[in-house]
Chains A and B, each alone.
Chain A
Amino acid sequence: MKFSTRILIVDDEEMICESLQAWFVRDGYQVETALSGEAALKIVENSPADIYLVDIKMPHMDGIEFLTRLKECQPNAIVVMMTAHGTVQTAVEAMKRGAMDYFCKPFDPDELSLFMERILANKALREENNTLKELLSESNQQGLSEVFIVHSEPMRAIFSKIEEVAPSSAPILITGETGVGKDMVAKAIHFRSERSCGPFLAVNCGSLSESILESELFGHEKGAFTGAVKARRGRLEMAHNGTLFLDEVGEISQKMQVSLLRAIEEKSFLRLGGSQPISSDFRLISATHRDLPSLIKEKQFRDDFYYRINVITIDVPPLRERLDDIPVLADHFLKRYAEETGKSLGGFTHKAIDLLSSYHWPGNIRELRNVVERAVVIARGRMIGAEELTFVNPRHDAGLIGSATLRELEINQIKAALESCNWNIVRSSKRLGIDRSTLMRKMKRYRLDRC
């Protein structure tokens, strides 16, 4: 966030401007300076900054006047006043007129860095309140924060629904194709609910074997099975006062559905090998890319469990149904990866954007992210062009079939499945309709490996 933050320093003393500029540049900000209020207003006209550091005492237009004029055209600007003489009176006046804070020159280094942290936090807060554009969702484990882009009409609708349903404790089912952002939606709900201080525990039901999943969810007592050398708390127990996220809930066996159903209804359960009921108060969010109603028809999913987990449904549409999001997301990932790799990239060419918008995105946003990441790595110029975009699963209906051999088609199919399942073997093999060992054999034969 820091790196895209622009600071404008307004001070009539050149040395102060230079010194402050040097400090902020080293700290990773984009910094401009102006030696007078008038000069600063000119800059504001063309390209407003995010944060302004303004000296109170300046000849001609003083800091207070600049502040007043600035607030007329940019009411949400973050303005910090600086004073060399500790004139508390004027500082108070500045705060009344909308300055966020003031400090005395010279600054204490610690004060300055704490101060900037506070301003940045505040800036994030305001952005969240002011626009629907991005919603900061925090990842529970690493405390990383990822930006959730909300741009297109369908995504805005989802965002308002998230806000509407977050406060209650009703179970939510998030549906949508792979890679559309179901995880992100789940986290967004948790972090906007009253349980946000509690844990957010995710269990990927598709990637664990039945017995491991069972002890993962319910925990076990010492000696419950060979290898259970110590008692262990399960996710249900750990999610107390927080949110339990059952990802790929469509993959749960019917037997497990029964146990879970009971635990949800009674709000209590037994650890494996245990006899003491354990109660836990959690909110349940589930997600699946599968069509549960048709699984129910095929008797592969229990309807009583379905009704229990599906009190509220949030359906996240595939990327090809929200074309407006494509340029915004592509740009977002471009910035992120350019920053990570230290490349300076301006954006995408028109051709590239057209190509991105016409692709069918079977792996949705995850696939878009991978395509952009790759393009950033191989990019040579300042702009990413169409030729730098490589898709794992180009449309075959575009005449490719005739020229491709059966072997090539198979490789493409397998690659696409792996890619869209994030290289999860179990899920990919299900998707391809072959068993796990066959898939692994084929991967070996075709030397398919995550690159």
Chain B
Amino acid sequence: MARKGSRKTGESHIDIVPIGHVDALAVSVVAANLQTLMGLNADTLPLHPEPEYAYLAVRSQYAAGKIIKELESIDEGSRFKLGIVQCDLCTPILKFVFGESQLGGKAAVISLHRLQDKDPARTYLRAAKIGLHETGHLLGIGHCQTHDCLMAFVSTIEKLDGQPARFCTACQYEISRTLKYIFG
């Protein structure tokens, strides 16, 4: 309650939702990056239970779409929700995804499962990149053709590591324009 009350109007914000057991540090790093790179203030909501409803026995993975639906149904807080899970995500057409998002929608989810590295700092950086990318989609931004932009589609962990943690000027412009439009 205090959190909601403390929000000034005109302040861009998003809620981060840890789902199931996730590394709390990863959550903070994602939040910090949303703040610095996109100007989005991130609040972390209380932990949600493991997403058993999204489990697909045939694939031994979790359906990203189902988790997004669940996030969408949370009424309180910001209009944007970014879920973070530890389990492996997939979609009906892709063998796996690092994250999934509704283009111009309310909710997105990212998974730490395939981002794990011996060096936790690297894991967190990867998570931040995916979080920024999926949040970009929430703002209605599609994939970017500029290779060194966070909105470029990356399909492998190597490509993700090669990607600098920044948006190109065109995407950056779109982000601030959209945030200004939404939050005034």
Contact = CB atoms under 8 A, between A and B. Distances in A.
Interface of A: 2, 13, 15-16, 18-20, 22-23, 25-28, 105-110, 112-114, 342
Contacts of B65: 19
B94 A107 contact: yes
A342 B65 CA distance: 29
Nearest to A29: B142
B166 interface: no
A19 B155 contact: no
Nearest to A18: B92
B163 to A, nearest CB: 14
B97 interface: yes
A106 B90 contact: yes
A106 B143 contact: no
B94 A106 contact: yes
25 contacts: A13-B92, A15-B92, A16-B92, A16-B93, A18-B92, A19-B91, A19-B92, A19-B94, A23-B91, A23-B93, A23-B94, A26-B103, A26-B137, A26-B142, A27-B142, A107-B94, A107-B95, A108-B94, A109-B95, A109-B156, A110-B155, A113-B153, A113-B155, A114-B155, A342-B174
Closest 3 CB pairs of A and B: A110-B155, A109-B155, A19-B92
A4 to B, nearest CB: 14
B96 interface: yes
Contacts of B95: 106-109
Interface string B99-111: 0001100000000
A113 B155 CA distance: 7
A27 B144 CA distance: 8
B153 to A, nearest CB: 6
A109 B137 contact: no
Nearest to A53: B93
Given A26-B137, A28-B143, A112 B92 contact: no
Contacts of A25: 103, 142
Nearest to B141: A26
**Residue of B95, B102, B174 most packed against chain A (CB within 10 A):** B95
Contact of B156 (A22, A23, A106, A110): A110
Contacts of A112: 94, 155
Nearest to A14: B92
A27 B93 contact: no
A contact patch SS: helix
Interface residues of B, number: 19
Contacts of A20: 93
Nearest to B173: A342
Contacts of A109: 94-97, 155-156
A342 B178 CA distance: 13
Contacts of A28: 142-143, 145
B143 A26 contact: yes
B169 to A, nearest CB: 13
Contacts of B102: 22
A2 B96 CA distance: 24
A234 to B, nearest CB: 33
Interface of B: 65, 90-97, 102-103, 137, 142-143, 145, 153, 155-156, 174
B153 A27 contact: yes
A13 B92 CA distance: 10
Contacts of B96: 109
Given A19-B93, A26-B142, A26-B143, 4 more contacts: A2-B145, A28-B145, A105-B92, A108-B155
Nearest to B59: A106
A294 B97 CA distance: 68
Contacts of B153: 26-27, 113
A105 B103 contact: no
A34 to B, nearest CB: 16
Contacts of A22: 102-103
A28 to B, nearest CB: 5
B92 A27 contact: no
A27 B155 CA distance: 13
Nearest to B91: A19
Nearest to A23: B93
B65 to A, nearest CB: 7
Nearest to A105: B93
A314 B156 CA distance: 48
A105 B153 CA distance: 20
A76 B96 CA distance: 33
A110 B137 CA distance: 19
Contacts of B90: 106
Contacts of A18: 92
A28 B141 CA distance: 10
A106 B93 contact: yes
B55 to A, nearest CB: 16
Contacts of B145: 2, 28
A109 B174 CA distance: 26
B156 A107 contact: no
A99 B38 CA distance: 43
A28 B93 CA distance: 18
Contacts of B91: 19, 23, 106
A8 to B, nearest CB: 15
A94 to B, nearest CB: 19
Contacts of B93: 16, 19-20, 23, 105-107
A13 B102 CA distance: 20
Nearest to A28: B142
A22 B174 CA distance: 20
Interface centre among A22, A27, A114, A342 (most CB of B within 10 A): A22
Contacts of B142: 25-28
Contacts of A113: 153, 155
Contacts of B97: 109
Nearest to B64: A19
A25 B155 CA distance: 16
